[in-house]
Amino acid sequence: MTSDANLRESATPDTAWQDDVRAGVRHVRDLASLPLSPAERAAAQEAAASHKVRIPKAYLDLIDWSDPHDPIRAQVIPSPDELIAAEGELDDPIGDHAFSPVPRLTHRHADRVLLFPTYQCAVYCRFCFRKESLTSIGRGYTREALEPALAYIAEHPEIREVILTGGDPLSLPDAALAEIRARIEAIPHVRLLRIHTRVPVALPSRITAGLVGALQGRLMVTVVTHFNHPREITSRAEAACRTMRQAGFVLLNQSVLLKGVNDRVEVLEELCSELMYRLGVKPYYLHHGDLARGMAHRRTTIAEGQALVAELRQRLSGICNPTYVIDLPEGGGKVPLGASHIEGREGETWLIRGQDGKLRTYREVVG
Ligand SMILES: *Cc1c(COP(=O)(O)O)cnc(C)c1O
Ligand code: SF4
């Protein structure tokens, strides 16, 4: 990025988000001003050593401090439970590293790659499945660091989708995003740019005309947001999503199923319907809790998740329903966990349970 680009950026009027960052929690020491419990206070320093603390003001303001189990608080305030590593938990829960041929890139499915322009985020979620990488690598964006990954994409014509993830790609300056977008769109076989981000949730004021403009070009753009609770759906988040929709971006959401945050059907129902009907964001995935260290206290069982999504299917239309998936260890990928409706088969006749719970037969007739 040139110094000119920096100047242009700070001269734009769209800088309200910088106040949101400045007035938020930027370091663990900023937690001192918050009404934490003695146990949270004691845990904070130690927890921050393995996963940074950062909370923009807009997100901090959503916390109801009178509720010790507040679902917003649970996502960002370090808890003493984080310090307990359970047997079987993993540093790299979904096998990003094993499928990384060059730094800052993971290639597990032929047609799409993960690209990590930065290992920093606008907010640090306590349950993050990449917290180990964010802490051990931790670096931000530089042009040079991305060169091997861009060369790899150029050399692999089977790659059609580039997924910017991290870290949070939308924590980068507009000029850096424009540069990354231009480099990717210069590779002719790439068709879609996908961005996985928590910025529309935690720092919605950052979704400015300048940011959106930086991403517009030849490529189809899909933004996958990360809302976990209906209280995160605010008028600011609504404005951020409207800006992105009006720019022509396709908006999807992935949520993580978290005990004590969104593991009740009423909460998921409101989350998924408000995402679709208010924000115009299609619920895409509901992730079963992966095996990130220190997260046993936020994990549900798979059976609990299956019961929740079965009930959700009864209550909400198809477009409001996410697919419940587990991202398997060792790079097994994302696999649906929803209960199968197939109860049996005899030759060409399948026994399938309907949405009303009754068993029906379907006999295949193929010419
Ligand atoms: C999640 C993920 C993707 C994207 O998967 P979709 O099912 O297309 O959303 C791609 N590559 C890796 C390594 C992933 O973990
Ligand atoms: S924004 Fe994403 S990558 Fe960053 S801490 Fe939260 S879950 Fe992890």
Work out the average pLDDT over 291-320: 95
Strands 105-109 and 112-118: antiparallel
At 1, is the pLDDT very low, low, confident or very high (cuts 50, 70, 90)? Answer: very low
* Beta-bridge partner residues of 254: 285
What integer best gives the mean pLDDT of the chain?
Answer: 93
Asked if 261 and 298 count as a contact pair (C-beta separation under 8 A), the reply is yes
For residue 165, how far is its CA from the centre of ligand 2 (angstroms)? 9
Taken as a whole, the chain contains a residue count of 367
Work out the average pLDDT over 152-177: 97
Name every residue whose Cβ is closer than 8 Å to that of residue 209 and which is 6 or more positions away in sequence. Answer: 14, 243
For residue 185, how far is its CA from the centre of ligand 1 (angstroms)? 20
**Is 272 one of the annotated binding-site residues?**
no
Asked if 134 and 91 count as a contact pair (C-beta separation under 8 A), the reply is no
For residue 101, how far is its CA from the centre of ligand 1 (angstroms)? 16
At 226, is the pLDDT very low, low, confident or very high (cuts 50, 70, 90)? Answer: very high
Query: Which ligand neighbours the alpha carbon of 196 most closely?
Result: 2
According to CATH, the topology of domain 97-336 is TIM Barrel (3.20.20)
User: Which atom number of ligand 2 is nearest to the Cα of residue 198?
Assistant: 1
In tens, the pLDDT along 86-122 reads 899 988 888 888 899 999 999 999 999 999 999 999 9
**Considering the entire predicted model, what is its pTM?**
0.94
Q: Where are the domains of the chain?
A: 4-81, 97-336, 340-367
Query: Which ligand neighbours the alpha carbon of 75 most closely?
Result: 2
- Please name the residue whose Cα sits nearest to atom 7 of ligand 2: 128
In tens, the pLDDT along 143-160 reads 999 999 999 999 999 999
